[in-house]
Amino acid sequence: MPHTSDITALPILDLSQLDGTPQQRQAFLDDLRHAARDVGFFYLTGHGIDASLLKQVQDHARQFFALPDSEKTAVGMINSPHFRGYNRAASEITRGQPDQREQFDLGAEREVLPLTADSPLWTRLQGPNQWPQALPQLKPLLLDWQQAMTQMSLRLLRAFAQALALPENAFDRLYGDKPNEHIKLMRYPGQSSTASNQGVGAHKDSGFLSFLLQDRHAGLQVEIEEGRWIDALPRDNTLVVNIGELLELATNGYLRATVHRVVSPPAGSERLSIAFFLGAQLDAVVPLYPLPAVLLREARGPASDPLNPLFRDVGWNYLKGRLRSHPDVAQRFYADASNTSTPLRKTAEA
C-alpha cells in the first residue's frame, strides 16, 4: 500500500481487463481495491461508452448553456419538487458558500409517486425531469447516455464486490429496477483574481459511485491527505471515478470517500464537465457488508456514525443533501421538513 505522500496523480484503471485473461481480470480487481482504498479516486478507461456518444453529450451540454437565459430559467429547478432543472451560478451552496457554476440536473425519468399523509418526505424526489423546448434532441440523447452509464457503473459495482471478496451480486438488491441515476451538466465561468474561485467547495459525494466527464480545462482537485491537493487533469475518452459516502459506510471505511473541490477557471475562459451519480433505490437501507478479516484490519471506519439511520436510509440521505444544497427549492416544496418528526429533523438539530 503506497503512502499518501507518494501519490501525485490519480491511478488509471482499464475496465476492459475484466474481459481479459484470468490474470488480467484479477490484476484489475486488485488495482481497483487499492485505488478505491488508498485514494478514493481513479481514472477509468476501457469503459465501453462510445467516444462519439461522449462527444455528443458534451456538444449538447454546450448548446444548452448557450441558450438565452429565458430558455434556461423556464426549466429552473425552483419549479421542481424533485430537484430537477437549471440553476444559475451561485445558486447551489457547498459548506455555506455559493458555488460559481451554472448547472442542469436530471434524474431517472419516472412517474411521481402517490403520496399519503404517512409518506416519507423523500418520496417527493421521484418524478419527471424538465426539458428545454429549444433543444428537443437533448432528452433522448441524455436518457440514452444515462442508461449506458447505468449499465457500465453497475458492472463496475459488481467488480467492487468481487474485489472485496463479496458475492458478485452483493450490491444488486440495493438497486433493483429503480436505481437513483443522477446527471449534472455543469459550466464554470471564468473568474477574475479578485473574485471567489469556488467552482465547487470542498465536499464528499453522498452516494455510491460518481463519474465525471471533463473537457480540456483543469479544475478538479482531490485532497489526497489533509491539506494536500492534487489535480485530476483531463484525459481524452476517460472518466474520473470516485467513491461516495454510502459505499464508504457500507464497507466500514475500507473504501474511501475523498474530499474534492473544483477551482474556477481564469477570467476569459470556461470549463464544462458532466457528472453521473449512481445511487441505490430511494427505499433501500444500506447494510454493513461482512468483509474478510484481512480487509477489515485495513478498514479506517467511516467518517460518519455507522449506526445513524439517516445515513443508512438512502432516501433520507439523498434528501438531506438536496435540501442543504438548494435552500430555495427546500423552502418552496419542503417547508414542512422542519416540522416533521422524521430522522431528518433529528439530524438537523444534532
Burial of 347 (0-12, 13-18, 19+ CB in 10 A): middle
* pLDDT tens figures, 89-120: 877 888 778 888 999 999 999 999 988 888 99
The yes-or-no verdict on residue 311 having pLDDT over 70 is: no
pLDDT band at 1 (very low <50, low <70, confident <90, very high): very low
Q: Over 3-63, what HEC string results?
A: CHHHCCCCCEEEHHHHHCCHHHHHHHHHHHHHHHHHCCEEEEECCCCCHHHHHHHHHHHHH
Instruction: Band the pLDDT of 343: cuts 50, 70, 90.
Output: very low
Whole-number Å distance between alpha carbons of 261 and 212 = 13
pLDDT at 4 over 70: no
For the chain, how many structural domains are there in total?
1
pLDDT at residue 222, rounded to an integer? 96
- Domain ranges, residue 319: 4-349
pTM of the model: 0.92
**Cβ atoms of 221 and 229 closer than 8 Å:** yes
> 213 pLDDT exceeds 70?
yes
Tell me which residue has cell 409518506: 119
- Measure the CA–CA gap between 257 and 243, rounded to whole angstroms: 5
CATH number at 122 reads 2.60.120.330
Q: Strand (E) positions, 163-249?
A: 180-189, 198-203, 209-214, 220-225, 228-231, 239-243
- Residue 82 to residue 123: CA distance in whole angstroms: 9
Say if residues 11 and 235 touch (Cβ distance below 8 Å). Answer: no
Tens digit of each residue's pLDDT (9 = 90 or more) over 238-270: 999 999 988 998 998 999 999 999 999 999 999
Contacts of 230 (CB under 8 A, 6+ apart): 7, 8, 9, 10, 221, 222, 224
Residue listed under C-alpha cell 437513483: 180
